[in-house]
Structure 1
Amino acid sequence: MNVTDLTVKNDYCIGCGVCAGVCPSNNLYIDWSPRGELIPHTNNLCNDKCSICLDICPFNNHKINQDAITNSLFSKTRNIKYNEYTGYYLNCYVGFRKDTVKRLKSASGGLATSFLASLIKENIVDRIIAVGISEDNNRMFNFKILNNSNEVYSCAGSAYYPVEISRILKEIIKEKEEFEYAVIALPCVAYALRLAIDKIPKLKKKIKIIASLTCGQLQNRFCTELLSLESGIKVNELAKMNFRQKSENNSAINYMQVATDKNGNEGIPQANQELPSHLWHYQYFKQNACNFCDDIFGEVADVTFMDAWLPEYIDNYRGTSLIISRTPLALKLLENSHEYNLKEISVNSVIESQMGLIQKKRTLLKGKLYKSESSNSFYPEKRVKPDFNVYNENREFIDLTTEIQDLSKELWPKYRLDKSTAEFWNELKPLESKIAKYERKIRIKNLMTKPKKFFKKISGS
């Protein structure tokens, strides 16, 4: 049995590619599924006695979970602190890169890119592994090996698009040179890499630092295609997508999404907050694995970067970053750099900035686990447990978003080559009606709740 028989078959694969990257039999390769997701496929060369792909899959069940890994990595660090949501941390920061040009080219405050560049400048690692624009016509973005700080800066920005790391892992496992690497990835990939490092001595020797970004969910490539078509660029003409173009007329959270065709022509910029809000909130095109992730802050990473989604920073269109540092090395690099405008911030403020993700990944997850458990289907064990009460309280939202995820992936291939998204949305009208009905219920519920809270407050009870 391998990941194609278990994780992929049950639709829990996130497409990280770590399994294919470390497979000793070259049995696995990563390619697109009909649902617009990167998944492992088999060459039918599997060794029956080998289980490494399952041992390092972030959505399989393991004796070694994130808590066990972080205890081993960080618990004995001097002055280390712990929070149930962030995991271990030495300190938290808020700030941005002083170089305004580089800051504007980044997704938020530019600190993740600058930190990675400093690792090469200070000779701490030889190379950086990060996501950049792909030269492969079949993939818009991919993991790349970056050799210097200029290459690192060229990869600044966000890619809300499926990527996988198999080719990079194969390359560094085979190489004879003693290069050392830092990797920046999403929490699920960071977890898979930690599991792989524990199994493969050469990876442990080569991957010295893991950085993470926070992540709420990952949409498949169909979402990018829809955004392109919404902006007037046909899918078969799409060359690249800028997911986080900043505009001085907008707040940091209302960034522009801009598609570009093969002739270099830009489509109509789409402001994030002017797109249908339900596209993200109701989880169109969301990969199912993301429904079963309980890691908000990349807990196994040495350092984690995120947007400063706090009231005092959102209005600054240039972007501001939050950082969680878990190692003395990361702490030293951050505090000694003259390139950053940086100050300490409380861990509670960092948590406040990501409360929506905490609701998804810790509370709603309990209800989703219960739903899977009650259907007697395989599901990945998490650090929270299935809870009927959570499912019952959120049943309509959980069931509705599950239906939306499945139907949007099923329908988009029929309309992706159209001149507009009109027919796609037209076929989804019944679901749109369900969303409107659900939102009316929520508004009425909130209106009824407010007086109760007010009277409770003034009565002191």
Structure 2
Amino acid sequence: MELDRYGQMKPKGPRTWLRGRDEDLARTCPFSPVARDEEQLAAEYFAGAKNQDLLVGRYEAALVGHVEEGEYRSNGSSGGMVTWVAAELLRLGLVDGVAHVKQSDDPQSEGRLFHYSLSRNLQELQAGAKSRYYPVELSGVLQSIRGAPGRYAVVGIPCFIKAVRLACADDPILKERIAFTLGLFCGHMKSARMAESFAWQMGEDIRHVKRLDYRIKSPDRPANWYRAQLTLENGETCAQDWWHLADGDWGAGFFQNSACNFCDDVVAETADIAFGDAWKEPYSSDGRGTNVVIVRSKALLDVVEAGIDQKRLALSSVDADFVIATQAAGFRQRREGLSFRLTWPRNGMRPRKRVSARSDGLSRQRKAVYIMRYGISHWSHRVFSIAQFLHSPRLYILWARAALACYQGVAYSRGPIGRIARSLGLAGSEGRT
């Protein structure tokens, strides 16, 4: 897997392999129409789960809250639960290592800002805290797991966890050694170009960036007011709120990976435990961060409940409707939007998804929103590439601001474009994304 010219991870191999059909890949690729889907995998791993929901999947318990113990909450992007669970697995001796995404030690020589790595103690684990909206790949860390006997946990977004499940079914060594999977709720994956764009808009060259924190946390600001911070090679830092960036509206789809248009899993339905942000009041206004947690494994439910009993975790039970409400926009995009996108003409292989292709029942506004997101995802990479070639960041930024104004005019009925959209019946007062 290598970064292509648009900063997205793509397979690299002989042309005969790329154009042919590889049976191993067909069984293990999470987007393959031949591979088992999320519901089939969940039925195998969580057959006895107490609860089952069409959107949330099979689960033992759903919870909302944060870590009380130590600095897990303050050091994480949200409530600190991902790092706490991973650390607890290490502390209890349930795993020997945790595979998760970390900052690259030397981004320029490695050619990327982040990569998967194995952590075997709390100090190493804490270096990988916080969200990373950057393309990574699993092959290297899975090879490390194959080469070092032990028990491991893997942290990843839904398609990565599904890929791990499929790989375990195909590889007895991985099946024996990967003991737990920790999933992260996902809206979509960004390409490496988003990091470069953020640097451009802060007046910096990505080649001089040592570290990138996508979500600087501040207790006196709502949790959903994202603020990005760059640390340069000389130690200087600069920061900017996402909403002041031309492509900072997540829902608009700037630099989205093309495969994300055909994903229908928001909450990591195949993971033993899954974590997201509690994007629902009063939690979304709490700048300290709050997690929503879906526990599917009975073993991990015991770990979490012990943490609650010991007052190390502050979590309360919620139902599937609460979880769905915290990720409402993601579910619309991945189910309603996906169903609409499947009706579009498509060359080559047609993906096999858990929703049917249909467009009836959708308003003109919703159709326009999904079409514009698709267009922004597609063209943001290409316009950025042209701007790079011409050494003209301003070209991309002007295009991005115009595209965002059009999108927000339709999606939120904002500004003069919103008035035009309303007159054409392409916008209303829904206020949904």
Same fold (TM over 0.5): yes
Question: CA 1:145/1:388 → structure 2, altered by over 3 Å: closer, same or farther?
Answer: same
Give, in whole Å, the separation in 2 of the partners of 1:448 and 1:169: 48
- Mapped to 2, the partners of 1:40 and 1:167 lie a distance apart of 14
Taking structure 1 as reference, are residues 331 and 416 closer, same or farther at Cα in structure 2, changes over 3 Å only? same
The answer to whether residue 345 in structure 2 is matched with residue 345 in structure 1 is no
1:69 corresponds to 2:41: yes
SS of the equivalent of 1:323 reads: strand
Per-residue CA deviations over 1:19-41 (Å, capped at 9, x if unaligned) read xxxxxxxxxxx111011111110
Provide Cα deviations, 1:337-370, integer angstroms capped at 9, x if missing partner. Answer: 1321122122211111011111000101000111
Distance in 2 between the 1:428 and 1:211 partners? 35
Find the counterpart in structure 1 of residue 397 from structure 2: 425
What residue number does 2:288 align with? 318
Which residue number in structure 2 is paired with residue 238 of structure 1? 209
State the 1:411 CA deviation: 1.8
Q: Quote the residue 1:396 is aligned against.
A: 368
Q: Distance in 2 between matches of 1:243 and 1:449?
A: 31
Evaluate the alpha carbon distance shift between residue 430 and residue 322 of structure 1 in structure 2; reply closer, same or farther with a 3 A threshold: closer
Distance in 1 (CA, whole Å) between partners of 2:402 and 2:162 is 39
**Deviation of residue 265 (structure 1)?**
1.0
Give 1:395 deviation, angstroms: 3.4
Name whichever of 136-145 and 186-195 sits farther off: 136-145
1:318 to 1:419, Cα distance in 2 relative to 1, 3 A: farther
Contact 1:234 1:417 in 2 (8 A): no
Distance 1:199 1:357 in 2: 31
Q: What is the TM-score with the length of structure 2 in the denominator?
A: 0.89
Q: Write the distance in 1 (CA, Å) between the matches of 2:247 and 2:206.
A: 22
Return the offset for 1:192: 0.9
CA distance in 2, matches of 1:250, 1:51: 50
Alignment partner for residue 336 of structure 1, among 298, 306, 312? 306
Structure 1 residues 115 and 139, CA, compared in 2 at 3 Å: closer, same or farther?
A: same
Q: Does 1:152 align with 2:125?
A: yes
Cα distance in 1 for residues equivalent to 2:248 and 2:104: 29
Cα offset, 1:194, TM superposition? 0.7
* Deviating more after overlay: 361-370 vs 163-172: 163-172
CA offsets 1:271-322 (integer angstroms, 9 cap, x no match) = 2344347742221111111111000110000000111111111221110111
Q: 1:67 to 1:415 in 2, by over 3 A?
A: same
The answer to whether the Cα contact below 8 Å between 2:28 and 2:35 also exists between their aligned partners in 1 is: no
Q: After TM superposition, list the pairs within 5 Å mapping 1:159-308 onto structure 2.
A: 159-173=132-146, 175=147, 177-267=148-238, 269-276=239-246, 279-308=249-278
Identical-pair percentage: 25
Q: Find the aligned partners of 1:93 and 1:327 in 2 and give their Cα distance.
A: 14
- Specify the SS of the correspondent of 1:88: strand
One-letter amino acid of the structure 2 residue matched with residue 115 of structure 1: V
Number of aligned positions between the proteins:
414
User: 1:457 — aligned with what?
Assistant: none
Equivalent residue letter for 2:98 = I
Equivalent residue in structure 1 for 2:353, among 379, 382, 397: 382
Q: Distance in 2 between matches of 1:327 and 1:291?
A: 29
Give the match for residue 81 of structure 1.
51
TM-aligned CA deviation for residue 198 of structure 1: 0.7
Find the aligned partners of 1:114 and 1:430 in 2 and give their Cα distance: 42
SS of 1:410's partner is helix
Q: 1:76 to 1:431 in 2, by over 3 A?
A: closer
Structure 2 letter corresponding to 1:381: R
Contact 1:366 1:390 in 2 (8 A): no
- Partners of 1:228 and 1:259 within 8 A in 2: yes
Alpha-carbon separation, structure 2, partners of 1:362 and 1:96: 29
C-alpha displacement of 1:216: 0.5
Q: 1:142 aligns with which of 110, 115, 122?
A: 115
Distance 1:327 1:233, change over 3 A: same
Pairing partner for 2:98 from 128, 136, 139: 128
Shift of residue 447, structure 1, vs aligned partner? 8.7
CA separation of 1:397/1:305 partners in 2, compared to 1, >3 Å: closer, same or farther?
Answer: same
Which residues of structure 2 form unaligned runs of 5+? none
Give the letter aligned to residue 133 of structure 1. Q
- Distance change in 2, residues 1:430/1:154 (3 Å): closer
- What residue is the counterpart of 1:405 in the other structure? 377
Alignment of 1:13-32 (within 5 A): 30-32=1-3
Deviation sequence 1:385-439 (CA, Å, 0-9, x none): 1113267744322332222222210121333488884222234576456436634
The reply to whether residue 359 of structure 1 matches residue 329 of structure 2 is no
Instruction: Report the alpha carbon displacement of residue 384 of structure 1 after superposing the two structures with TM.
Output: 0.2
SS in 2 for 1:55: helix
Shift of residue 145, structure 1, vs aligned partner: 0.5
Conservation of the 8 A alpha-carbon contact between 1:230 and 1:420? no
Amino acid corresponding to residue 334 of structure 1 in structure 2: V
**CA RMSD, 1 decimal:** 2.5
- Alignment partners' CA distance in 1, 2:88 and 2:123: 11
